[in-house]
Amino acid sequence: MPRSVEESCAALLRSGVDAHAWLCTSDRTFTSPVPARFAARGVPTEVRTANTWADPRALVSLVRALRRLGKGAVLHTHGERALLWGAAAARLTGARHVHTLHGWIDNDPMDRRRNERARRLLASVDLLLAVHPSIAEGATVVPNTLDPRRFARGMGEPATTRRHWGLGDDERVYLFLGRLSEEKGADRLAMVQTRLQSVSAAARLFVAGRGPLLPGIDAMTDVRFLGERDDPASVLAAADVVLMPSRREGHPMTALEAAAVNVPLVGFPAGGLADSGLAVTTPPGDVNKLVDTAVALVREPGLRAEALRQSRDALEGSFAPRDHAAMLARAYEANPAA
């Protein structure tokens, strides 16, 4: 989610909107590259640490940040924790509260309790946005965005990355990049690997990310685990195909990013992946078809070229930063602050 918010703030700034970022982490010892990325885009950023969901110091910090912006400020939140603090800060300051839904994580009872709390809080927001219509009925849809040229500058030299990974010229990289969780289909990676091995001797499955299924993924044999990465452009550019066996999606940034570095993506038609034009989709849950299609995109140049043409057209059309900023500006203006 920080990547989508970063791109959104940068797009707003370029369009003339005075956009600021207020970021919060629950881990005092974790050094994140996220604030530096926001700063590099010219986004004024404030970072705070909160050890609990209702940390009063974090709330005070957010209230002060809103008051510094003055009358007419719009508070735009992303994520359940931000929604909680945003609802309280908006009441205290009178700021207009806009919230974007990116999707629901619903793997266990704890997730479901958190989602129920979030749904109750949604009743208090002034404007509800969603990155895809499948996420929330009646919400105003504003898809994610990406500056493809800027993102592609971080890809480095793919051949160098592949040599660093110890790959030969005839080996092919099939990459999963995302949260290692059920909704992202990470539990299907063992089946993906089995099918890859049966249809292509040159296929190598690479996995990058972190999440609740990490122990099982890390223990898989014949899989190269890259861990969590803060260089998605270089990882994606070194792949031959990106795999997305998700059960649920909002509007995945990985699909935008793969298109930006000219790598095809194959996935199940979940959420925004179904109609984005950014991916080749296969029947839901059919891992064999997913893998077979991915292998075909490596072996058949014409099929690969058509998939890349479609994803580039979609990226430069529906998800352009200028259009994204214009949609947000119209939403803000139609729902002005009190």
pLDDT in tens, 245-292: 999 998 899 999 999 999 999 999 999 899 899 999 999 999 999 999
Average pLDDT over residues 145-167: 96
Residue 169 pLDDT > 80, yes or no? yes
Task: State which amino acid sits at residue 193.
Answer: Q
Give the CA angle between residues 227, 233, 238 to the nearest 5°. 80
The pairing of beta strand 45-49 with beta strand 172-177: unpaired
Query: What pLDDT is attached to residue 338?
Result: 43
Average pLDDT over residues 213-217: 89
Please give the CATH architecture assigned to the domain spanning 148-317. Answer: 3-Layer(aba) Sandwich (3.40)
CATH topology of domain 2-145+320-334: Rossmann fold (3.40.50)
Residues of the chain with CATH 3.40.50.2000: 2-145+320-334, 148-317
Least confident piece of the model among 51-65, 137-151, 190-204, 298-312: 51-65
CA-wise closest residue to 43 among 78, 72, 7, 67:
7
Half-sphere exposure of 199 (CA within 13 A, CB side): 21
Half-sphere exposure of 55 (CA within 13 A, CB side): 15
